[in-house]
Amino acid sequence: MSFIIRADAKSWIDVPADHHFPIQNLPFGVGCPTTHPECVCIRIGDQVLHLWTLLDAGLIPEEEFPMLCSFQDMDRGHMSDIRKIAYDLLRADNPLLRDNEALRDQAVTSIDNAEIQIPVLIGAYVDFYSGINHASNVGKMFRPDMPPLLPNYKELPVGYNGRASSVMVSGEPVRRPKGQTKDASAERPSFGPTKELDFELEMGFFTGRGNVLGEPVSIDDFTDYLLGFVLVNDWSARDMQRWEYQPLGPFLAKSFGTSISPWVVTLDALEPFRVAGPKQDPQPLEYLRAKENWHFNIELEVSIHTEKMSKPQVVAHTNAQELYWSFAQQFAHQGVNGTNIEPGDLYASGTISGTEPGSFGSLLELTWRGRDALVMEETGEKRTFLEDGDTVIMTGWCQGEGYRVGFGTVEGKVLAAV
């Protein structure tokens, strides 16, 4: 059962209208205060609400919610119920927590005093290729004499299984990877740091339950499996990828790091922003046909902050509606063969690009394979690909009537190779 919070709802915690985390959002995360070993929390504004403190105080019934050491142990129904309890405690006209100073000081603390961690223990990671404009641009660059999309693109959500152990939370730096690259004029490859380090603007979702190996899942069951959504930056070493990906796909070029935002935004919070996706032609096969809309109106931005700049510069703006294959279709294709989906699995959408140059979700596209350098307006620096010391900042939000439901940011600084 969904719990959608009214657009005009207000909290006794003051949250500006353009803040990503108003009372209409209430995402889940792991933010440990130094005074308590249990970390599961809900974010509102620049504060975090510690669920274990509420459990200790009897404000969350322990017999119903015994697994607050990790919210991925909950199903979507549990998350909706806890979010409803949090909403009730935080609404402006409820004095229960607002006026209990001793309890309030333990249960609600500043985000600055929380050690933000990766929100879910990730067991498996899948990266899709569902951004049709990105796929078309890549095809035009690397297969100019062929149709930009390969024959299977509009028949199934193309993807590959990535490396879950290198998924990291926003704020952790990424080390420039080393690997093999081969210049077109060279007889053999060489080994060394990538010269074409790139970002990829993506969305991701977590699953909160699993199935038995050998039992296929249905697209109609996606809601029951879904835990929530995050932003994803799937870092990419383009020169390494060009050499190694044939015939089995990316390997070292992608496995060195994937960054995610720390706050898991629930489907309940995103319900008001569901939209129809693009027309799919040909019509997908039966197992990929959903009864509901599974695209969302999520504005997305990418900024770059070099070490010489005083503030970041926005280099791309697009929208999650640009995905060809929806999140539900990605899930259905992954599980149709009976693979064992598990709690905490992460699924990334693939690079989300619009149709215009300023809406492309990677430097590969924004500079058109390095041909057209981006200029940092403040300093005059030029970028075709990322340099050591550069920080990439991605953000995303849904605009409501007088409020936003946002994801915060996913940030990462590039460190030199070792």
**Dist CA 365 CA 112 (whole Å):** 36
**Dist CA 50 CA 27 (whole Å):** 12
Write out the DSSP string of 13-79.
Answer: S---TT-S--TTT--EEEEEETT-S--EEEEETTEEEEHHHHHHTTSS-TTT---TT-GGGS-HHHH
Q: What does each C-alpha distance from 202 to 288, 300, 304, 378 come to in angstroms?
A: 21, 9, 16, 27
The yes-or-no answer on residue 134 being catalytic is yes
**Dist CA 272 CA 276 (whole Å):** 12
Cβ contacts of 139-146, under 8 Å, gap ≥ 24: 141/364, 141/368, 141/369, 142/242
CB 314 within 8 A of CB 245: no
Nearest partner of 126 among 367, 315, 349, judged by Cα: 349
Question: Residue 134 in 3-state DSSP?
Answer: helix
Torsion angle of the four alpha carbons 84, 90, 91, 96, in this order, in degrees rounded to the nearest 10: 100
**Dist CA 373 CA 383 (whole Å):** 5
Close Cβ partners of 138 (under 8 Å, ≥ 6 residues apart): 148, 364, 365
Write out the DSSP string of 241-309.
Answer: HHHH-TTT--SHHHHT-EEE-S-BB-HHHHGGGEE--PPPSSPPPGGG--SS--EE--EEEEEEE-TT-
First to last CA, the chain: 50
The pair of structure tokens assigned to 355 is 């149709």
**Dist CA 125 CA 204 (whole Å):** 10
**Dist CA 62 CA 66 (whole Å):** 5
Catalytic residue among 20, 50, 78, 134: 134
**Dist CA 245 CA 370 (whole Å):** 20
CB 205 within 8 A of CB 226: yes
Q: Which residues are catalytic?
A: 134
